[in-house]
Amino acid sequence: MVGVAGRRLRVGQWHQDSTEDKGGVPARPLMILNGIGMNMEMLEPVTRHLGDRRVISVDMPGTGGSPDPVFPYTIPQMALTLASLLDRLHIDAVDVLGISWGGAIAQQFAFQHKARTGRLALAATAAGAAAMVPGNPALLGAMLDPTEYTMEKALRRNLASLYNGGGAERISLNAAKAPSFSGWMCQMMAFAGWSSLPFLPVLDVPVLIMADDDDQLVPAANSRLLHNAIPHSRLEVFAGGGHLFMLSDPHGFSTRLRAFLNERTARKAA
């Protein structure tokens, strides 16, 4: 637990003592921002395939082991909180991976804190609620009902519905822990009032956008919108893994992610 910017957040790190040195150039740590209501343990299948790269993640207020938020917050406020967390950890710059809801904070962080952002990867995410191409109405309707995601049994049922069975590996949902009502609602409200469309054309960091063609919650059209709006971005589309494609095929997902993150190292080493 770390106190930062007036909040207490549960912080997790993988490979904390490693920099995954490539060609004499230490790799930047990777900060992973998870989907709405998701605790950091859900990221374990992805981190397992990232080699020895140092990985940092947090449980958002009211999720996982982090206390409930005292007041609602905005996406820009949470991006500032994460920058303060990096100060506490004595980290100057990070690569950032934003998954689903976490992609909103990842985009905002890269815009607000360009000097601290190396490379940006976005997975199964959108440019905001107002700009979002809507997904399956039944799934969206369930997300608007807090009882469907703040109770353990209902949470696992809904997570299972987001995975459409096309992945290379089975997904274990045993690590999922339901968020609190206030934690869930604060995340929903933060996303509802946010959009990255005004600043996407001026994002000046390398960007990889990943989507799945069977994503029923955040259709791949949202990733194509991001790709068209962000100069020089790259789009990679997976097949058959649904909204949780990074968990259904963690090896394939992490392989593409690592290749993107290591491009910077290869150029500098040359």
Q: Point out the residues that are catalytic.
A: 100
Rounded to the nearest 10°, the torsion over CA 230, 236, 241, 243 is 0
- Whether residue 89 contacts residue 58, with contact meaning beta carbons closer than 8 Å, is answered with no
Task: Give the whole-angstrom CA distance, residue 245 versus residue 167.
Answer: 7
Task: Give the whole-angstrom CA distance, residue 249 versus residue 19.
Answer: 25
In sequence order, the 6+-apart residues with CB closer than 8 A to the CB of 235 are 209, 210, 211, 223, 224, 227
Task: Give the whole-angstrom CA distance, residue 165 versus residue 133.
Answer: 23
Residue type, 258: R
Task: Give the whole-angstrom CA distance, residue 46 versus residue 113.
Answer: 25
Rounded to the nearest 10°, the torsion over CA 129, 79, 115, 95 is -80
